[in-house]
Amino acid sequence: MIFTYRYCRMLEEGSFRGRTADFIMMFVFGGILMTIIACFVNLVFLGQAFTIMLVYIWAKRNPYIRMNFFGMLNFNAPYLPWVLFGFSLLLDNSVIVDLMGIAVGHIYFYLEDVLPNIEGGVKILKTPRLLKLLFDEGEDEYGEVPDDTRPGGYNWGEDVREPQPEAEPEQEPARQEDHPHED
């Protein structure tokens, strides 16, 4: 349950920020695909597979984050689903559930992030307009703060004057000195 909450929150605040309809579409896509697969592998409870799917998608979208597993194993985030898979093997749990979550997460990641970005690629997963109308607010609520509402009370940098070029020192008129040697 903690894994689901944590990675769901990180996805929503990270790569799905301001795109609630796309986030819901990921849930719908994953749920439908897992339900179809579950019919063939005779699984009833898909909660762990769904969690592994969320972990897989988050891990693929955050490849440079360093992870630590029980203080013994350090690795980059894309390996987290496989580390969890290995831990399930170690504990003699059913690995079919983990493999299903990894497979569904990989299919979603490929269709959403890889396929549209290759040459000649197309975006197959499109969020329906109805979901966008219901859940997307339009503009990001954390847009740029207008200048007049910024905190602090002092307009740093607004009172900067252009440096004036230094005036050349005035030259004194040449004095004529009495030269005793001149005749």
Q: What is the mean pLDDT of residues 54-63?
A: 88
| pTM, full prediction | 0.67
Reduce the DSSP state of residue 74 to 3 states and report it.
Answer: strand
Question: Nearest to residue 125, comparing CAs of 12, 21, 5?
Answer: 21
Q: How confident is the model at residue 110 (pLDDT cuts 50, 70, 90)?
A: very high
pLDDT of 138 reads 61
CA 12 to chain centre: 9
Residue 23 and residue 31: Cα distance in Å, rounded? 12
For residue 129, the model assigns a pLDDT of 87
DSSP 114: I
58 and 16 in contact (C-beta within 8 Å)?
no
Residue 131 pLDDT exceeds 80: yes
